[in-house]
Amino acid sequence: MANYPVTIVESCSQGLIAFVAEGDFTVTDAAGKAIASTGDVGSDSGAIVKIEGPEGKEAIRAACFSRNGALFAICTNDKAIRIYETAGWSLKRKLVSEKRTNALCFDPESKHLVTGDKFGDCYRISADSDGGSDKPEILLGHVSILCSVGFSYGPKSYVLTCDRDEKLRVSKYPNAYNIQAFGLGHREFVTSVATAAFAPEIAVTGAGDGTVRLWRLETGDLLQTIELDSLMRKYYESGKARCGESTREDRTAATQRYGVLRVRPLESQRSFVAVVERIPAVLVLPVGNDLASFGEPVLVDIEAAPTDVATIEDGFVVSFEPRAAVSQ
C-alpha cells in the first residue's frame, strides 16, 4: 500500500481504522497495529488477515463502516461495490452498479448500504443479500452529482445528501420521496456532511466555497457560517499552504482556495473537525450548549496538506501528502 498516498481514512466506534490508498486498503486497531489488508501482507506479517480486494487493483472512490462496526464497504472505479464483515474480513456481498458511485453510507440499522452516484441518484442496497435476487432500489434523486451521503441520529431517521449544485437535502428514511428540508446557502459544491449523536438536531457541511456551515435538520435553517479565509489565510501568507504548479492544468494555482475535503464528528469532545485542501491543519469546531452555534475555532497544525480525516475515541487521524498518517 505504500506505493500510493493514503487518500481516504475511515473509522468506527469499535476502534477500527481503514486507510485507503488507490486500489488497496489496510485496517488497523486504534493503536495503529495492522489487522487486515488487501495488499501484500508478507510472510512474517503475523496475524494480519489477507482481504480479497478490488479486481485489477481498481481505484477505491469511497469507503465506510457501519455504525455498529460489523460491516465495511468500498466502491471502485469499475462500478463495483463490496461489503465486508469486519469480524473475519470475509467478503459478504459484491455487486456491480449501473453507474459509478461517489459516496457510501450504511443506514442506522446497518441493514442497508446507501450509495450516491455521479448522475445524482441514491440507491439502497441490502447488506445481507448474495446479490442474486435483491437488486439495488432507487431511494431518491438529485439533478446533479452527489458528493456526500449521511444519516441523522435520534428517533427520527433522515438521510442527508449533498450535491454539486450547492444543496443539502434532508429526506425522511426510508420513504425518501418525503423531503423534510433543504439547506440552502453554499455558493459551490457541497463536499461533505456530518451528524453527531451528541447533537441529533443539527448537521454540519463543508463545501468548495471555503465555508463550514451549521444547520438545523428539521427546518433547514442555517444557524452559522464559518468563513475559512479569515481563519486560514495565515497559511498562505507564511508559505505553508500547498499551492499547485502554474500550469494550464491547474487553473487555481494563483488563487487562495479553502475547499473543504471532509467534515467529521468528534463525539467525545462535542465537536466537529474539518480538513481543507492545501492547508496543513485540522480545524476543530466545538458545538455550543445551545446546539445552535460553534464555540471558538481551534487550528491544529499538521505536517503537510491533508487528504482526509477520521475521528477516534479521543482525537483524530489525518492522512496527508505525500504518503503518511498521524494521530493527534
pLDDT at 5: 86
Q: What count of other Cβ atoms lies within 10 Å of the Cβ of residue 169?
A: 24
Residue 317: CB partners within 8 Å, gap ≥ 6?
9, 11, 17, 309, 310, 311, 325, 326, 327, 328
pLDDT in tens, 197-256: 999 999 999 999 999 999 999 999 999 999 999 999 999 989 898 665 443 444 454 568
Could you read off the pLDDT of 140-195 as tens digits, one per residue? Answer: 999 899 999 999 999 999 999 999 999 999 999 999 999 999 999 999 999 999 99
Between residues 41 and 265, the one the model is more confident about: 265
Q: Is the pTM of this model over 0.75?
A: yes
Q: DSSP character for 287?
A: B
Which residue's C-alpha cell is 473543504?
Answer: 260
Three cell numbers at 254? 494563483
